[in-house]
């Protein structure tokens, strides 16, 4: 049997195939193949193997590789075979290398020469084999080596060679359009080839060229139309017929090309009407290939400038397809319908029943195609039904890829056409419930945003109702056994934000549910984090409303568990919660205003509010800030910075980033200290700063339009502060002092002593907590401002809506920047709100430790007028410095900033420096990167939500 | 363009696999397994088309045809027409049938390189170059003739050296 094809095959190969065929298990097959590999390895390197034998070995290798085993040991032999003179051996060699190697393989270099030679061979079979290899093995770099030969072959007497040369040229174009862009005119020339086969082959590259640049080929419309006409009128020799159809494959390609050329071009389209109409009439609809041509005609008709007569013919064909028993034709019919309804939507109606049939068909392919059609047909009138069906189908399938696609389509349709908010929320609930882990996290953020913002009308009532219904439905859904994480996040957020807003449910109801969630999904840290933050919000609202807060026992035990959590994020949230509960109503209301997730955050990035202060300080004899670049000893620092840059660019390296800030902090600290020597010895430098931070949030925002940046900066701030933490390494503080040019002996010593106290305390409290606190205060600041007095709640909403209406798609991002819950923020948000509190929280541990301050005091400090008015700006200050951190001295600045606050700001050099630095110009991108790093490193060790950072990073 | 041509039997054993874009051997196996999973779960009398995006990546469709113990599978992108590709499979199988008279699975296994020759005459670098089975047959026959001739010529020195070495 094996000899039937006339190709030599040995008994061994037959045996191999047979034994593999009879193998009972994969393991047995593997054993047989491994044996074979051993044999081949041995045999193939023997000297003087007869060519036939060698050929067979190579074929066996190919076979083995097809079965999934590594045959790379034989690649070199295949390459050698291409050098052989014997056609048989050479062709086998080429076959093997095209199957084995890719264009970037090391061995290619050994083949290029042979290919060059073979392309010039006078044996056309050798040329064809070489061309075949060219298609697969030549890459952008090697194209020039063979291009001249291939070009010559375009005029080869054999049409088979011309055809393949065109294809090879096409392939070059696909791989590197620029390498052959000057040669594309050859494709046009070949269109006039005497051989219809060559002409047909030319259509492939032309199709691609035209798809990329329609306008340069409009002149060919007439030619294409006349070719198509001739083909359809059977002017080609019978040899090109296929199943009694004249050259159907050529017709199909031509119709595709005409569809491109006629799209939106009335004049060009008019040239095509006659020929397309002819094909509609003449085409034999009983054969498969005839229907293929008809289908292509429909595609063409629906793409070119509409012509009523043709549309009618197309509709007829579609109804024939849809009525057919063949699933293939139904499939094509549905597809064609999807194309045609774009032009004449009314034709869908006559096929309603057929479409419904297809929807219920057991054939999955057909069903999906039909859903695609429905998706295209969706209007506000039918959205409910269609989305409903889609969700039902989504629930029924297991293919995650397709599930994801349907889910996102449902979401898209629901967002676009939702008849009512209630329906929207219900639909989203279903999507999330059944495919929650598959949908893009942005969808969840979008939903949160929608609930937070309402539908944009200034109708608070409707918004409230929307929220109430959402809360209600979520409380019900929480009874379901297993919910996707993303959905739970949404639920927790909404319950936290609006759970008690309408007074229908008591705080204990909601907190009970939240605790249940945290307990039931105890290995999902993200959900737990959301739940914790939600709990905090509920309690904060209760406190702010001056109601008595009784923590449920389960909540208490949850907190205890979280306080000892391995996740620093959870721990932080738990501490924050604890801290918030300890505050008085006013403070809490400032930290966590209710329903303020849509507030904008504004920051005075110029820090102009500090001018007076700086002026004052300078008058008192403080030294003005000297930018780091103007100081000596800059070199090593800038090195540091470079290093950091590298790290920032590669996410993998996380451990070095903290080093960056270190030098900065050190150099900075001395400066402040120098300025305020008396303060230095103060043992608890942290307290004042603490209060500062707390105050920050309470300040009403100025009028920043750059929320986007703002956020980033806030983030950055966290970075900045975290840098402060590691700064504990006092090692080179002395050298830094000299850097500043102010060599103060005693100052230096005090510095170090102060640092020691500072450091020693920190470890005791909690190192990572410090970082978190930094981050938190950062975020808190931002979210705080965001929530702060209701100046522009409505305004903010309105603006975000305007944006939305302008750019419906991108609104997601834009709006999300404003509205709390959206994309980057989800974490930010949650992190953020806690952060606001976190400052307070941070007070807590210290309080406990030292018993120095009590919460109320702190709170009052928070509200303290002067501090308050200043604090947001300080935030901004932070932000700016942080943003500019890529600049060494900005980092310095930062530390300077924090230091003054630490030292209770007796008016020192620090401030002036700060201002100057702020003028340095922030670099949000840098800061972004750094923030990501920071999060990955410390603040977010649980790395609970990496996606969010991706969002952040863009 | 056509992205891949595969022939596999109803047990999922690969009989021919040709990918027109390079893929590692592991990836190829993964795809073959993935497609087989889908194919063997298809009922009779359903369409021959499958959306291959979840397996093969964006913009890929699959057309298959079931003959006796074999699945013939073509994977391609949106620049081809599903029905036409279905006929392409028909051309391929017709050619094999002409070549081997009543082609069966074993012919394909044992004439592995010849199958490749046929396919190469039909699909070149991912584009369809020839759709007439008689033209393909002509070309393939000519190739075997010339190969046999060149082999005969080269056999003389070859066999001499082979003989010497034994």
**Crossing angle (nearest 10°) for helices A525-544 and A553-563:** 130
ipTM of the complex: 0.90
The b-or-e profile of A593-625 (16+ CB within 10 A means b, else e) is: bbbbbbbbbbbbbebebbeebbeebbeeebbeb
CA distance A328 to A708: 51
For the stretch A846-861, pLDDT in tens is 444 444 444 444 444 4
Instruction: State phi, psi for B60 to the nearest 5 degrees.
Output: -135, 135
Burial of A222 from C-beta contacts in 10 A (0-12 / 13-18 / 19+): exposed
Q: Give the one of A2, A70, A400 whose C-beta lies nearest to B110's C-beta.
A: A2
Tell me if A741 sits within 8 A of A632, measured CB to CB.
yes
Å between B25 CA and nearest CA of chain A: 6
How many CB pairs below 8 A link A and B?
205
Instruction: State phi, psi for A729 to the nearest 5 degrees.
Output: -65, 110
Would residue B64 count as lying in a domain? yes
The pLDDT score that the predictor gives to residue A284 is 84
- In sequence order, the β-bridge partners of residue B67 are B70
Nearest Cα residue in chain B from A238? B132
The pLDDT score that the predictor gives to residue A304 is 94
The pLDDT score that the predictor gives to residue A926 is 59
Q: Give the one of A9, A63, A88 whose C-beta lies nearest to B147's C-beta.
A: A88
* Segments of chain A with pLDDT less than 70: 1-9, 455-459, 595-596, 598-602, 632-954
Contact check, Cβ <8 Å, A170/B28: no
CA distance B34 to B55: 7
The pLDDT score that the predictor gives to residue A605 is 74
For residue A803, give every residue at least 6 positions away whose Cβ sits within 8 Å of its Cβ, in sequence order, or none: A811, A814, A815
Contact check, Cβ <8 Å, A7/B111: yes
Would residue B163 count as lying in a domain? no
Q: How far is CA B69 from the centre of its chain?
A: 15
CA distance A730 to A734: 8
Nearest Cα residue in chain A from B154? A86
Domain of B51 in residue numbering reads as 2-154
Contact check, Cβ <8 Å, A2/B125: no
Would residue B87 count as lying in a domain? yes
User: Would you state the structure tokens that stand for residue A755, as one six-digit string?
Assistant: 């640092």
Q: Which 275-304 residues of chain A touch chain B by CB within 8 A?
A: 288-289, 291-292, 295-296
Q: How far is CA B67 from the centre of its chain?
A: 14
The pLDDT score that the predictor gives to residue A841 is 42
Measured CA distances, A567 to A525, A535, A564, A940, B90 (Å): 8, 18, 9, 8, 61
What DSSP element (H or E) covers A493?
Answer: helix A485-498
Measured CA distances, A728 to A445, A752, A759 (Å): 38, 10, 6
Cβ of A264: how many Cβ atoms within 10 Å? 10
Å between B71 CA and nearest CA of chain A: 16
The pLDDT score that the predictor gives to residue A619 is 87
The pLDDT score that the predictor gives to residue A335 is 93
Confidence of residue B51 (pLDDT cuts 50, 70, 90): confident
Å between A98 CA and nearest CA of chain B: 9
Would residue B28 count as lying in a domain? yes
Nearest Cα residue in chain A from B87? A289
Q: Does any CB of chain B come closer than 8 Å to the CB of residue A124?
A: no
Tell me if A513 sits within 8 A of A471, measured CB to CB.
no
Nearest Cα residue in chain B from A12? B110
**Crossing angle (nearest 10°) for helices A910-918 and A661-675:** 140
CA distance A447 to A550: 31
Contact check, Cβ <8 Å, A102/B22: yes
User: Would you state the structure tokens that stand for residue A325, as one six-digit string?
Assistant: 């028993």
Cβ of A500: how many Cβ atoms within 10 Å? 24
Residues in chain B within 8 Å Cβ distance of A331: 47, 49, 82
Is the Cα torsion angle A134, B34, A334, A341 positive or negative in sign?
Answer: negative
CA distance B162 to B166: 7
Look at the block and give the residue holding tokens 């003054």: A900
For the stretch A225-235, pLDDT in tens is 999 999 999 99
CA distance A97 to A94: 5
CA distance A720 to A668: 13
Burial of A448 from C-beta contacts in 10 A (0-12 / 13-18 / 19+): buried
Cβ of A316: how many Cβ atoms within 10 Å? 12
Look at the block and give the residue holding tokens 């306080």: A563
Is the per-residue pLDDT at B82 higher than 70? yes
CA distance A43 to A468: 78
Q: DSSP E strands: which ranges in A395-514? A: none
Contact check, Cβ <8 Å, B144/A5: yes
Nearest Cα residue in chain A from B81? A292
Would residue B165 count as lying in a domain? no
The pLDDT score that the predictor gives to residue A931 is 54
Single out the residue of B116, B134, B50, B125 nearest to residue B85, CA to CA: B50
CA distance B84 to A730: 76
Contact check, Cβ <8 Å, B129/A85: no
User: Would you state the structure tokens that stand for residue A502, as one six-digit string?
Assistant: 């309408």
Is the Cα torsion angle A737, A742, A743, A745 positive or negative in sign?
Answer: negative
Domain containing residue B20: CATH number: 3.30.450.60
Number of domains in chain B: 1
CA distance A382 to A707: 39
- In sequence order, the β-bridge partners of residue B64 are B73
CA distance A198 to A155: 11
Burial of A439 from C-beta contacts in 10 A (0-12 / 13-18 / 19+): buried
Residues in chain B within 8 Å Cβ distance of A163: 124, 129-130
Tell me if A685 sits within 8 A of A742, measured CB to CB.
no
Measured CA distances, A568 to A152, A721, A769, A773, A938 (Å): 69, 16, 7, 11, 8
DSSP assignments along A815-850, one per residue: HHHHSTTSSSHHHHHHHHHHHHHHHHHHHHHHHHHH
Q: What is the mean pLDDT of residues B105-127?
A: 89
């Amino acid at each position: 049997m094996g000899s039937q094809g006339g190709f030599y095959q040995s008994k061994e190969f037959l045996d191999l195939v047979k034994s593999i065929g009879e193998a009972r298990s994969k393991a047995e097959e593997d054993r047989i193949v491994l044996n074979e590999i051993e044999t081949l390895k041995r045999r193939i390197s023997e000297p003087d193997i007869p060519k036939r034998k060698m050929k067979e070995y190579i074929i066996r290798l190919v076979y083995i590789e097809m079965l999934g085993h590594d045959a790379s040991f034989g690649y070199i032999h295949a390459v050698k075979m291409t050098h052989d003179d014997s056609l048989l051996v050479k062709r086998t060699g080429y076959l093997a290398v095209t199957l084995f190697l890719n264009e970037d393989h090391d061995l290619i270099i050994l083949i290029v020469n042979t290919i060059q030679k073979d392309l010039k061979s006078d044996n056309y079979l050798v040329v064809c084999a070489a061309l075949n290899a060219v298609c697969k093995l030549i890459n952008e770099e090697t194209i020039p080596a063979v291009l001249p030969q291939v070009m010559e072959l375009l005029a080869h007497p054999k049409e088979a060679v011309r055809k393949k040369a065109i294809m090879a040229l096409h392939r070059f174009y696909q791989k590197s359009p620029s390498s052959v862009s000057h040669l594309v005119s050859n494709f046009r020339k070949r269109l006039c080839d005497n051989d219809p086969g060559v002409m047909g082959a030319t259509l492939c590259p032309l199709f691609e060229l035209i798809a990329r640049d329609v306008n340069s080929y409009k002149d060919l419309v007439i030619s294409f139309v006349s070719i198509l006409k001739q083909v359809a009128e059977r002017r080609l020799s019978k040899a090109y017929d296929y199943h009694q159809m004249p050259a159907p494959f050529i017709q199909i390609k031509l119709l595709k090309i005409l569809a491109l050329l006629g799209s939106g071009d009335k004049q060009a389209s008019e040239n095509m009407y006659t020929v397309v109409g002819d094909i509609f009439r003449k085409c034999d609809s009983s054969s498969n290939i005839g229907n293929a041509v008809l289908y292509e005609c429909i595609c063409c008709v629906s793409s070119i400038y509409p012509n009523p007569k043709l549309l009618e013919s197309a509709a007829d064909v579609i109804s024939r397809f849809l009525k057919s028993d063949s699933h293939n034709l139904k499939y094509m019919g549905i597809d064609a319908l999807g194309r045609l309804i774009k032009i004449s939507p009314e034709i869908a109606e006559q096929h309603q029943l057929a479409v419904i049939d297809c929807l219920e068909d057991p054939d999955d392919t057909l069903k999906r195609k039909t859903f695609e059609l429905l998706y295209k047909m969706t209007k506000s009138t039918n959205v409910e039904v269609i989305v409903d069906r889609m969700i039902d189908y989504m629930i029924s399938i297991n293919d995650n890829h397709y599930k994801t696609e349907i889910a996102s389509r449902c979401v898209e349709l629901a967002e676009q056409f939702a008849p009512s908010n209630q329906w929207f929320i219900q639909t989203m609930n279903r999507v999330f419930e059944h495919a929650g882990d598959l949908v893009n996290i942005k969808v969840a953020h979008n939903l949160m945003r929608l609930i937070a913002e309402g539908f944009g009308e200034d109708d608070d009532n409707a918004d409230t109702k929307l929220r109430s219904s959402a809360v209600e439905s979520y409380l019900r859904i929480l009874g379901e056994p297993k919910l996707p994480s993303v959905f739970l996040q949404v639920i927790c957020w909404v319950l936290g934000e609006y759970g008690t807003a309408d007074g229908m449910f008591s705080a204990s109801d909601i907190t009970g549910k939240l605790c249940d969630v945290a307990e039931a999904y105890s290995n999902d840290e993200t959900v737990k984090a959301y739940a914790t933050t939600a709990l905090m919000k509920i309690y904060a609202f209760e406190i702010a409303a001056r109601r008595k807060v009784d923590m449920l026992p389960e909540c208490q035990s949850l907190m205890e568990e979280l306080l000892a959590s391995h996740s620093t994020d959870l721990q932080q949230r738990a501490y924050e919660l604890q801290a918030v509960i300890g505050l008085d109503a006013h403070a809490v209301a400032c930290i966590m205003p209710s329903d303020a997730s849509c507030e904008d955050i504004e920051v005075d990035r110029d820090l102009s509010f500090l001018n007076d202060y700086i002026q004052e300080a300078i008058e008192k004899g403080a030294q003005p800030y000297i930018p780091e670049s103007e100081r000596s000893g800059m070199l090593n620092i800038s090195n540091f910075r470079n290093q950091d840059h590298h790290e920032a660019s590669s996410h993998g390296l996380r451990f070095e980033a903290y080093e960056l800030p270190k030098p900065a902090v050190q150099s900075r600290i001395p400066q402040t200290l120098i300025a305020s020597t008396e303060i230095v010895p103060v043992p608890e430098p942290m307290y004042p700063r603490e209060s500062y931070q707390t105050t920050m949030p309470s300040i009403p925002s100025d009028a920043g339009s750059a929320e986007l940046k703002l956020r980033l900066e806030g983030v950055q701030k966290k970075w900045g502060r975290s840098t402060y933490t590691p700064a504990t390494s006092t090692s080179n503080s002395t050298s830094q002092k000299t850097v500043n040019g102010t060599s103060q002996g005693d100052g230096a010593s005090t510095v170090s002593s102060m640092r020691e106290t500072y450091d020693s305390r920190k470890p005791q409290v909690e190192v990572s907590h410090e970082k978190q606190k930094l981050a938190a205060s950062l975020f808190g600041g931002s979210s705080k401002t965001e929530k702060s007095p209701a100046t522009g709640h409505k305004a903010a909403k309105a603006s975000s809506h305007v944006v939305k209406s302008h750019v419906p798609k991108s609104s997601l991002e834009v709006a999300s920047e404003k509205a709390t819950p959206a994309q980057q923020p989800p974490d930010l948000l949650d992190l953020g709100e806690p952060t606001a509190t976190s400052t307070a929280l941070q007070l807590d541990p210290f309080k406990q430790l030292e018993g120095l301050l009590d919460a109320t005091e702190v709170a009052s400090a928070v509200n303290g007028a002067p501090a308050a008015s200043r604090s947001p700006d300080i935030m901004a200050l932070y932000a700016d410095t942080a943003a500019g951190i890529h600049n060494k001295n900005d980092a310095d600045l930062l530390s300077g900033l924090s230091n003054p606050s630490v030292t209770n700001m007796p008016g020192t050099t620090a401030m002036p420096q700060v201002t100057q630095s702020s003028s340095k110009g922030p670099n949000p991108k840098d800061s972004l990167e750094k923030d990501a790093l920071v999060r990955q490193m410390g603040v977010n060790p649980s790395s609970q939500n990496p996606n969010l950072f991706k969002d952040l990073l863009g | 363009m056509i992205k891949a041509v595969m022939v596999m039997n109803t047990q999922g054993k690969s009989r021919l696999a040709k990918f027109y874009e390079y893929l590692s051997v592991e990836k190829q196996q993964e795809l073959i397994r993935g497609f087989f999973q889908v194919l063997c779960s298809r009922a009779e009398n359903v369409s021959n088309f499958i959306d291959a995006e979840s397996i093969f990546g964006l913009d890929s469709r699959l057309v298959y045809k079931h003959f006796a113990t074999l699945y013939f599978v073509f994977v391609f992108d949106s620049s081809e027409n599903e029905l036409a590709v279905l006929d392409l499979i028909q051309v391929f199988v017709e050619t094999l049938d002409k070549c081997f008279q009543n082609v069966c699975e074993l012919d394909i296994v044992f004439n592995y390189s010849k199958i490749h020759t046929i396919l190469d005459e039909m699909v070149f670098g991912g584009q369809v170059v020839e759709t007439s089975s008689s033209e393909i047959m002509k070309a393939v026959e000519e190739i075997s003739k010339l190969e046999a001739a060149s082999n005969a010529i080269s056999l003389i020195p070859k066999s001499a050296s082979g003989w010497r070495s034994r």
